[in-house]
Amino acid sequence: MKTISDLGDLRGKRVLVRSDLNVPLDGTTITDDGRVRASVPTIVQLADAGAQVLVVAHLGRPEGKPDAKYSLEPVATRLGELIEPQVYFAKDTVGEDAKNQIASLANGDVLVLENVRFNAGETSKDDAVRGKFADELAELADVFVSDGFGVVHRKQASVYDIATRLPAAVGGLVEAEVKVLKRLTESPERPYTVVLGGSKVSDKLGVIDNLLDKADNLLIGGGMVFTFLKAQGHEVGKSLLEEDQLDIARDYIAQAEAKGVKLVLPTDIVVAPEFKDANASTVAADSIPADQLGLDIGPDSGAAFAALIASSRTVFWNGPMGVFEMSSFEAGTRAVAQALTEVDGLSVVGGGDSAAAVRQLGFEDSDFGHISTGGGASLEYLEGKTLPGLDILEGK
Protein backbone atom coordinates (compact mmCIF):
# COMPACT_ATOMS: atom_id res chain seq x y z
CA MET A 1 0.00 0.00 0.00
CA LYS A 2 1.21 3.49 -0.82
CA THR A 3 1.83 5.83 2.09
CA ILE A 4 1.77 9.62 2.17
CA SER A 5 5.48 9.86 1.31
CA ASP A 6 4.75 8.04 -1.98
CA LEU A 7 2.40 10.83 -3.06
CA GLY A 8 5.24 13.18 -3.91
CA ASP A 9 5.31 16.92 -3.31
CA LEU A 10 1.95 17.94 -1.84
CA ARG A 11 2.58 21.70 -1.77
CA GLY A 12 -0.43 23.45 -3.23
CA LYS A 13 -2.25 20.16 -3.80
CA ARG A 14 -5.78 19.57 -2.57
CA VAL A 15 -5.71 16.46 -0.41
CA LEU A 16 -8.96 14.81 0.61
CA VAL A 17 -8.34 12.89 3.83
CA ARG A 18 -10.96 10.43 5.15
CA SER A 19 -10.80 10.54 8.93
CA ASP A 20 -13.00 8.82 11.49
CA LEU A 21 -14.30 11.69 13.62
CA ASN A 22 -17.33 9.75 14.84
CA VAL A 23 -17.14 10.81 18.49
CA PRO A 24 -19.75 10.47 21.24
CA LEU A 25 -21.64 13.73 21.73
CA ASP A 26 -23.86 15.00 24.50
CA GLY A 27 -25.74 17.71 22.62
CA THR A 28 -22.83 19.59 21.07
CA THR A 29 -20.32 18.56 23.75
CA ILE A 30 -17.79 15.90 22.77
CA THR A 31 -17.64 13.40 25.64
CA ASP A 32 -14.57 11.55 24.31
CA ASP A 33 -12.33 13.25 21.74
CA GLY A 34 -10.05 10.23 21.28
CA ARG A 35 -10.82 9.86 17.59
CA VAL A 36 -10.21 13.57 16.95
CA ARG A 37 -6.83 13.36 18.67
CA ALA A 38 -5.96 10.17 16.78
CA SER A 39 -6.70 11.96 13.50
CA VAL A 40 -4.47 14.95 14.25
CA PRO A 41 -1.03 13.63 13.19
CA THR A 42 -2.03 12.86 9.60
CA ILE A 43 -3.96 16.12 9.16
CA VAL A 44 -1.03 18.13 10.53
CA GLN A 45 1.46 16.17 8.42
CA LEU A 46 -0.50 17.08 5.27
CA ALA A 47 -0.92 20.73 6.28
CA ASP A 48 2.79 20.98 7.14
CA ALA A 49 3.57 19.60 3.68
CA GLY A 50 1.79 22.63 2.24
CA ALA A 51 -1.34 20.83 1.10
CA GLN A 52 -4.84 22.28 1.23
CA VAL A 53 -6.40 19.69 3.47
CA LEU A 54 -10.04 18.69 3.00
CA VAL A 55 -11.23 16.46 5.84
CA VAL A 56 -14.16 14.19 5.03
CA ALA A 57 -15.81 12.27 7.87
CA HIS A 58 -19.12 11.04 9.25
CA LEU A 59 -20.90 11.41 12.57
CA GLY A 60 -23.55 8.93 13.65
CA ARG A 61 -26.00 7.44 11.21
CA PRO A 62 -28.13 10.20 9.68
CA GLU A 63 -30.45 9.05 6.93
CA GLY A 64 -28.73 10.43 3.85
CA LYS A 65 -29.91 13.99 4.42
CA PRO A 66 -28.87 16.91 6.63
CA ASP A 67 -29.77 16.51 10.30
CA ALA A 68 -28.47 19.21 12.64
CA LYS A 69 -27.89 16.87 15.55
CA TYR A 70 -25.27 15.01 13.50
CA SER A 71 -23.38 18.10 12.36
CA LEU A 72 -19.58 17.85 12.43
CA GLU A 73 -19.29 21.51 13.40
CA PRO A 74 -18.45 20.85 17.10
CA VAL A 75 -15.83 18.36 15.93
CA ALA A 76 -14.28 20.91 13.57
CA THR A 77 -14.16 23.37 16.47
CA ARG A 78 -12.38 20.79 18.63
CA LEU A 79 -9.89 20.05 15.86
CA GLY A 80 -9.16 23.76 15.61
CA GLU A 81 -8.31 23.84 19.32
CA LEU A 82 -5.93 20.91 18.96
CA ILE A 83 -3.86 22.00 15.97
CA GLU A 84 -1.85 25.01 14.79
CA PRO A 85 -3.09 25.16 11.19
CA GLN A 86 -6.19 27.22 10.51
CA VAL A 87 -9.32 25.01 10.59
CA TYR A 88 -12.44 26.00 8.64
CA PHE A 89 -15.80 24.26 8.44
CA ALA A 90 -18.03 23.87 5.36
CA LYS A 91 -21.78 23.65 5.89
CA ASP A 92 -22.11 21.01 3.18
CA THR A 93 -19.91 18.22 1.81
CA VAL A 94 -19.79 18.73 -1.95
CA GLY A 95 -22.10 21.75 -2.30
CA GLU A 96 -21.72 25.45 -2.80
CA ASP A 97 -20.27 26.28 0.61
CA ALA A 98 -17.63 23.55 0.33
CA LYS A 99 -16.67 24.67 -3.18
CA ASN A 100 -16.49 28.36 -2.26
CA GLN A 101 -14.37 27.70 0.79
CA ILE A 102 -12.07 25.35 -1.08
CA ALA A 103 -11.47 28.05 -3.68
CA SER A 104 -10.16 30.43 -1.05
CA LEU A 105 -8.00 28.02 0.99
CA ALA A 106 -4.33 28.82 1.44
CA ASN A 107 -1.65 26.15 1.46
CA GLY A 108 -1.51 24.55 4.91
CA ASP A 109 -5.16 25.32 5.71
CA VAL A 110 -7.62 22.66 6.84
CA LEU A 111 -11.29 22.55 5.82
CA VAL A 112 -13.61 20.08 7.57
CA LEU A 113 -16.51 19.18 5.28
CA GLU A 114 -19.97 18.64 6.79
CA ASN A 115 -21.02 15.06 7.64
CA VAL A 116 -20.52 12.96 4.52
CA ARG A 117 -23.54 10.83 5.49
CA PHE A 118 -25.82 13.82 4.88
CA ASN A 119 -25.50 12.65 1.27
CA ALA A 120 -27.52 9.54 0.35
CA GLY A 121 -24.83 8.44 -2.12
CA GLU A 122 -22.27 7.86 0.64
CA THR A 123 -23.82 4.70 2.07
CA SER A 124 -25.92 3.59 -0.90
CA LYS A 125 -25.84 -0.14 -1.67
CA ASP A 126 -26.22 0.74 -5.35
CA ASP A 127 -22.72 0.90 -6.85
CA ALA A 128 -23.79 3.44 -9.47
CA VAL A 129 -25.36 5.79 -6.92
CA ARG A 130 -22.34 5.52 -4.64
CA GLY A 131 -20.03 5.97 -7.60
CA LYS A 132 -21.76 9.14 -8.68
CA PHE A 133 -21.27 10.64 -5.24
CA ALA A 134 -17.64 9.48 -5.22
CA ASP A 135 -17.20 11.38 -8.50
CA GLU A 136 -18.43 14.54 -6.80
CA LEU A 137 -16.03 14.04 -3.90
CA ALA A 138 -13.15 13.31 -6.26
CA GLU A 139 -13.77 16.56 -8.13
CA LEU A 140 -12.89 18.49 -4.98
CA ALA A 141 -9.34 17.18 -4.70
CA ASP A 142 -6.12 16.04 -6.38
CA VAL A 143 -5.26 13.11 -4.12
CA PHE A 144 -6.91 10.91 -1.48
CA VAL A 145 -5.57 9.78 1.88
CA SER A 146 -7.39 7.03 3.74
CA ASP A 147 -6.93 7.56 7.48
CA GLY A 148 -10.30 6.67 9.00
CA PHE A 149 -9.43 3.26 10.38
CA GLY A 150 -12.74 2.97 12.27
CA VAL A 151 -14.64 2.97 9.01
CA VAL A 152 -12.43 0.85 6.68
CA HIS A 153 -14.87 -2.07 7.08
CA ARG A 154 -17.55 -0.02 5.30
CA LYS A 155 -17.93 -0.12 1.52
CA GLN A 156 -18.87 3.55 1.28
CA ALA A 157 -18.11 6.28 -1.24
CA SER A 158 -15.62 8.25 0.89
CA VAL A 159 -13.89 5.08 2.07
CA TYR A 160 -13.93 2.76 -0.93
CA ASP A 161 -15.07 4.22 -4.26
CA ILE A 162 -13.04 7.43 -3.95
CA ALA A 163 -9.81 5.43 -3.89
CA THR A 164 -10.40 4.28 -7.48
CA ARG A 165 -10.87 7.86 -8.67
CA LEU A 166 -7.82 9.67 -7.27
CA PRO A 167 -4.20 8.80 -6.57
CA ALA A 168 -4.55 7.24 -3.11
CA ALA A 169 -2.47 6.36 -0.07
CA VAL A 170 -2.98 5.28 3.53
CA GLY A 171 -2.40 7.70 6.37
CA GLY A 172 -0.29 7.01 9.43
CA LEU A 173 -3.24 6.05 11.63
CA VAL A 174 -4.44 3.28 9.33
CA GLU A 175 -0.83 2.15 8.92
CA ALA A 176 -0.31 1.96 12.68
CA GLU A 177 -3.61 0.18 13.32
CA VAL A 178 -2.98 -2.45 10.65
CA LYS A 179 0.52 -3.07 11.97
CA VAL A 180 -0.84 -3.87 15.44
CA LEU A 181 -3.63 -6.08 14.08
CA LYS A 182 -1.08 -8.00 12.01
CA ARG A 183 0.86 -8.73 15.20
CA LEU A 184 -2.36 -10.07 16.75
CA THR A 185 -3.22 -12.31 13.82
CA GLU A 186 0.07 -13.46 12.34
CA SER A 187 2.31 -14.55 15.17
CA PRO A 188 1.09 -13.40 18.57
CA GLU A 189 3.48 -13.98 21.44
CA ARG A 190 1.96 -16.50 23.85
CA PRO A 191 0.06 -16.77 26.03
CA TYR A 192 -2.44 -14.86 23.88
CA THR A 193 -5.56 -13.81 25.76
CA VAL A 194 -8.67 -12.29 24.24
CA VAL A 195 -11.25 -10.59 26.44
CA LEU A 196 -14.68 -10.05 24.94
CA GLY A 197 -17.52 -8.12 26.49
CA GLY A 198 -20.47 -6.13 25.31
CA SER A 199 -24.08 -7.06 25.26
CA LYS A 200 -24.60 -9.46 22.40
CA VAL A 201 -23.15 -12.85 21.47
CA SER A 202 -24.55 -12.31 17.98
CA ASP A 203 -22.16 -9.35 17.43
CA LYS A 204 -19.15 -11.45 18.31
CA LEU A 205 -19.85 -14.75 16.52
CA GLY A 206 -17.32 -14.31 13.74
CA VAL A 207 -14.54 -13.22 16.01
CA ILE A 208 -15.11 -16.02 18.54
CA ASP A 209 -15.12 -18.54 15.71
CA ASN A 210 -11.82 -17.30 14.39
CA LEU A 211 -10.14 -16.87 17.77
CA LEU A 212 -10.94 -20.41 18.88
CA ASP A 213 -8.14 -21.36 16.48
CA LYS A 214 -5.71 -18.67 17.62
CA ALA A 215 -6.05 -17.63 21.25
CA ASP A 216 -4.92 -19.51 24.36
CA ASN A 217 -7.49 -17.91 26.65
CA LEU A 218 -10.88 -16.48 25.76
CA LEU A 219 -12.44 -14.54 28.63
CA ILE A 220 -16.10 -13.64 28.35
CA GLY A 221 -17.82 -10.81 30.22
CA GLY A 222 -20.57 -8.28 29.59
CA GLY A 223 -24.16 -9.00 28.71
CA MET A 224 -23.32 -11.97 26.50
CA VAL A 225 -22.19 -13.92 29.58
CA PHE A 226 -25.79 -14.82 30.39
CA THR A 227 -26.36 -16.62 27.12
CA PHE A 228 -23.26 -18.72 27.88
CA LEU A 229 -24.37 -19.37 31.48
CA LYS A 230 -27.82 -20.40 30.31
CA ALA A 231 -26.21 -22.65 27.69
CA GLN A 232 -24.46 -24.40 30.57
CA GLY A 233 -27.83 -25.00 32.20
CA HIS A 234 -27.89 -22.17 34.74
CA GLU A 235 -30.81 -19.86 35.38
CA VAL A 236 -30.03 -16.20 34.69
CA GLY A 237 -33.01 -14.41 36.20
CA LYS A 238 -33.95 -11.20 34.40
CA SER A 239 -30.51 -10.87 32.75
CA LEU A 240 -30.03 -10.17 29.07
CA LEU A 241 -30.43 -13.41 27.12
CA GLU A 242 -30.27 -14.30 23.45
CA GLU A 243 -32.34 -17.50 23.28
CA ASP A 244 -31.56 -17.97 19.60
CA GLN A 245 -27.81 -18.07 20.33
CA LEU A 246 -27.91 -20.84 22.95
CA ASP A 247 -26.93 -23.63 20.57
CA ILE A 248 -24.09 -21.54 19.22
CA ALA A 249 -22.83 -20.78 22.72
CA ARG A 250 -22.96 -24.52 23.53
CA ASP A 251 -21.02 -25.25 20.38
CA TYR A 252 -18.33 -22.69 21.30
CA ILE A 253 -17.96 -24.23 24.74
CA ALA A 254 -17.51 -27.68 23.15
CA GLN A 255 -15.12 -26.40 20.47
CA ALA A 256 -12.98 -24.60 23.04
CA GLU A 257 -12.65 -27.82 25.01
CA ALA A 258 -11.76 -29.85 21.92
CA LYS A 259 -9.15 -27.30 20.80
CA GLY A 260 -7.57 -26.80 24.20
CA VAL A 261 -8.61 -23.14 24.40
CA LYS A 262 -9.41 -21.98 27.91
CA LEU A 263 -12.86 -20.39 27.63
CA VAL A 264 -13.37 -18.60 30.92
CA LEU A 265 -16.75 -17.44 32.16
CA PRO A 266 -17.31 -15.43 35.35
CA THR A 267 -17.99 -17.40 38.52
CA ASP A 268 -19.72 -14.53 40.28
CA ILE A 269 -22.00 -11.77 39.07
CA VAL A 270 -23.06 -8.36 40.41
CA VAL A 271 -26.84 -8.23 40.21
CA ALA A 272 -29.61 -5.74 40.98
CA PRO A 273 -33.40 -5.95 40.89
CA GLU A 274 -33.56 -3.31 38.17
CA PHE A 275 -31.38 -1.64 35.54
CA LYS A 276 -30.45 0.99 38.13
CA ASP A 277 -27.49 1.99 40.23
CA ALA A 278 -29.13 0.77 43.45
CA ASN A 279 -29.49 -2.36 45.63
CA ALA A 280 -26.61 -4.18 43.96
CA SER A 281 -25.32 -7.46 45.41
CA THR A 282 -22.95 -10.22 44.36
CA VAL A 283 -24.13 -13.78 43.74
CA ALA A 284 -22.60 -16.99 42.38
CA ALA A 285 -22.88 -17.18 38.59
CA ASP A 286 -24.79 -20.47 38.84
CA SER A 287 -27.42 -19.09 41.20
CA ILE A 288 -28.71 -15.79 39.89
CA PRO A 289 -32.07 -15.19 41.60
CA ALA A 290 -35.16 -15.10 39.38
CA ASP A 291 -35.96 -11.48 40.32
CA GLN A 292 -32.47 -10.06 39.64
CA LEU A 293 -30.46 -9.13 36.57
CA GLY A 294 -26.72 -9.36 36.09
CA LEU A 295 -24.97 -6.04 35.43
CA ASP A 296 -21.26 -6.76 35.96
CA ILE A 297 -18.86 -9.62 36.54
CA GLY A 298 -18.21 -10.13 40.27
CA PRO A 299 -14.99 -9.46 42.23
CA ASP A 300 -13.73 -13.08 42.17
CA SER A 301 -14.19 -13.16 38.41
CA GLY A 302 -12.51 -9.77 38.04
CA ALA A 303 -9.50 -11.06 39.97
CA ALA A 304 -9.36 -14.31 37.97
CA PHE A 305 -9.60 -12.44 34.66
CA ALA A 306 -6.97 -9.96 35.80
CA ALA A 307 -4.52 -12.74 36.73
CA LEU A 308 -4.85 -14.42 33.32
CA ILE A 309 -4.52 -11.09 31.51
CA ALA A 310 -1.53 -9.81 33.44
CA SER A 311 0.42 -13.05 32.86
CA SER A 312 -0.17 -12.99 29.09
CA ARG A 313 2.25 -11.69 26.46
CA THR A 314 -0.47 -10.59 24.06
CA VAL A 315 -3.93 -9.32 25.00
CA PHE A 316 -6.79 -8.00 22.89
CA TRP A 317 -9.83 -6.59 24.65
CA ASN A 318 -13.14 -5.48 23.15
CA GLY A 319 -16.27 -4.64 25.07
CA PRO A 320 -16.96 -3.64 28.66
CA MET A 321 -17.50 -6.30 31.35
CA GLY A 322 -20.55 -4.58 32.80
CA VAL A 323 -22.56 -1.38 32.84
CA PHE A 324 -19.44 0.65 33.65
CA GLU A 325 -21.36 3.93 33.29
CA MET A 326 -22.96 3.19 36.69
CA SER A 327 -20.63 3.13 39.67
CA SER A 328 -22.03 -0.11 41.16
CA PHE A 329 -21.19 -1.98 37.95
CA GLU A 330 -17.84 -0.56 36.86
CA ALA A 331 -15.48 -2.75 38.90
CA GLY A 332 -15.25 -5.61 36.40
CA THR A 333 -14.32 -3.32 33.53
CA ARG A 334 -11.87 -1.47 35.76
CA ALA A 335 -10.19 -4.74 36.85
CA VAL A 336 -9.73 -5.79 33.22
CA ALA A 337 -8.42 -2.36 32.19
CA GLN A 338 -6.00 -2.28 35.12
CA ALA A 339 -4.69 -5.77 34.25
CA LEU A 340 -4.10 -4.71 30.64
CA THR A 341 -1.84 -1.91 31.88
CA GLU A 342 0.30 -4.56 33.61
CA VAL A 343 0.88 -6.75 30.56
CA ASP A 344 4.53 -7.36 29.74
CA GLY A 345 4.02 -7.52 25.99
CA LEU A 346 1.36 -6.18 23.66
CA SER A 347 -1.96 -4.95 25.10
CA VAL A 348 -4.62 -3.70 22.71
CA VAL A 349 -7.90 -2.02 23.58
CA GLY A 350 -10.19 -2.42 20.60
CA GLY A 351 -13.03 -0.15 19.78
CA GLY A 352 -14.72 3.16 20.31
CA ASP A 353 -16.75 1.96 23.31
CA SER A 354 -13.92 0.20 25.13
CA ALA A 355 -11.64 3.14 24.44
CA ALA A 356 -14.21 5.55 25.84
CA ALA A 357 -14.66 3.24 28.85
CA VAL A 358 -10.98 3.21 29.82
CA ARG A 359 -10.76 6.99 29.52
CA GLN A 360 -13.94 7.46 31.54
CA LEU A 361 -12.45 5.21 34.23
CA GLY A 362 -9.45 7.53 34.40
CA PHE A 363 -6.82 5.55 32.50
CA GLU A 364 -4.41 7.26 30.09
CA ASP A 365 -3.98 6.19 26.48
CA SER A 366 -0.30 5.65 27.25
CA ASP A 367 -1.18 2.97 29.86
CA PHE A 368 -1.90 0.58 26.99
CA GLY A 369 0.17 -0.75 24.11
CA HIS A 370 -2.42 0.44 21.63
CA ILE A 371 -5.94 1.82 21.75
CA SER A 372 -7.64 1.11 18.47
CA THR A 373 -9.96 3.75 17.03
CA GLY A 374 -12.00 1.04 15.35
CA GLY A 375 -14.40 -1.32 17.13
CA GLY A 376 -16.20 -2.98 14.24
CA ALA A 377 -13.18 -2.59 11.99
CA SER A 378 -10.74 -4.28 14.39
CA LEU A 379 -13.18 -7.12 15.13
CA GLU A 380 -13.75 -7.75 11.42
CA TYR A 381 -9.99 -7.73 10.85
CA LEU A 382 -9.58 -10.34 13.60
CA GLU A 383 -12.38 -12.37 12.04
CA GLY A 384 -10.18 -12.62 8.97
CA LYS A 385 -12.66 -10.70 6.82
CA THR A 386 -11.67 -8.53 3.88
CA LEU A 387 -12.05 -4.87 4.79
CA PRO A 388 -13.17 -2.94 1.68
CA GLY A 389 -11.34 0.28 2.62
CA LEU A 390 -8.04 -1.58 2.96
CA ASP A 391 -8.64 -3.97 0.10
CA ILE A 392 -9.15 -1.16 -2.41
CA LEU A 393 -5.76 0.31 -1.46
CA GLU A 394 -3.86 -2.98 -1.79
CA GLY A 395 -1.60 -2.90 -4.78
CA LYS A 396 -1.82 0.89 -4.96
Given Mg ion, ligand 3PG, none, residue 80, with its beta carbon under 5 to 8 Å by kind, binds Mg ion
Closer of 34 and 150 to ligand 3PG (Cβ): 150
Interaction between residue 151 and ligand 3PG (CB under 6 A):
yes
Helix (H, G, I), strand (E, B) or coil at 281: strand
Given Mg ion, ligand 3PG, none, residue 20, with its beta carbon under 5 to 8 Å by kind, binds ligand 3PG
- Is 332 one of the catalytic residues? no
- Is 18 one of the catalytic residues? no
Q: Which of 376, 381, 382, 389 binds ligand 3PG (CB under 6 A)?
A: 376
Q: What is the rounded CA–CA span in Å between residue 349 and residue 184?
A: 12
Half-sphere exposure of residue 259: CA atoms within 13 angstroms, side-chain side:
20
Question: How is 153-216 classified by DSSP, letter by letter?
Answer: TS--TTTTGGGGTS-EEE-HHHHHHHHHHHHHHS---SSEEEEE-SS-STTTHHHHHHHTTT-S
Near ligand 3PG by CB under 6 A, which window of 88-96, 147-155, 181-189, 190-198? 147-155
Residue whose C-alpha is closest to residue 275's, from 203, 325, 331, 225? 325
Task: Name the catalytic one among 200, 214, 385, 396.
Answer: 200
Interaction between residue 80 and Mg ion (CB under 5 A):
yes
Closer of 48 and 96 to Mg ion (Cβ): 48
Interaction between residue 172 and Mg ion (CB under 5 A):
no
Minimum CB distance to Mg ion, residue 110 (Å): 9
| Residue 146: DSSP 8-state | E
Q: What is the rounded CA–CA span in Å between residue 203 and residue 209?
A: 12
Half-sphere exposure of residue 348: CA atoms within 13 angstroms, side-chain side:
30
Closer of 74 and 206 to Mg ion (Cβ): 74
| Residue 63: DSSP 8-state | -
Footprint (CB under 6 A) of ligand 3PG, residues 1-60? 20, 22
Near Mg ion by CB under 5 A, which window of 32-40, 79-87, 196-204, 329-337? 79-87
For residues 285 and 305, the answer to whether their CB atoms sit within 8 Å is no
Q: Which of 352, 356, 357, 379 binds ligand 3PG (CB under 6 A)?
A: 352
Q: Is the dihedral of CA 54, 58, 63, 66 positive or negative?
A: negative
Give residue 243's identity as a one-letter amino acid code.
E
The kind and range of the H/E element at 268 are: strand 268-272
Please, what is the Cα angle at 40 between 360 and 123, to 5 degrees?
A: 85
Task: Name the catalytic one among 197, 302, 351, 376.
Answer: 376
Q: What is the rounded CA–CA span in Å between residue 356 and residue 341?
A: 16
Near ligand 3PG by CB under 6 A, which window of 100-108, 148-156, 218-226, 264-272? 148-156
Interaction between residue 221 and ligand 3PG (CB under 6 A):
no
CA distances from 310 to 23, 113, 297, 329, 357 (A): 30, 43, 18, 22, 19
Given Mg ion, ligand 3PG, none, residue 375, with its beta carbon under 5 to 8 Å by kind, binds ligand 3PG
- For helices 34-48 and 172-185, angle between their N-to-C axes, nearest 10 degrees: 120
Near Mg ion by CB under 5 A, which window of 76-84, 134-142, 162-170, 238-246? 76-84
How many residues of this chain interact with ligand 3PG, rule: CB under 6 A? 9
Closer of 86 and 279 to Mg ion (Cβ): 86
Closer of 22 and 245 to ligand 3PG (Cβ): 22
- Is 35 one of the catalytic residues? yes
Closer of 34 and 352 to ligand 3PG (Cβ): 352
- Is 37 one of the catalytic residues? no
Catalytic residues: 35, 200, 352, 376
* Residues within the interface to ligand 3PG (CB under 6 A): 20, 22, 61, 150-151, 154, 352, 375-376
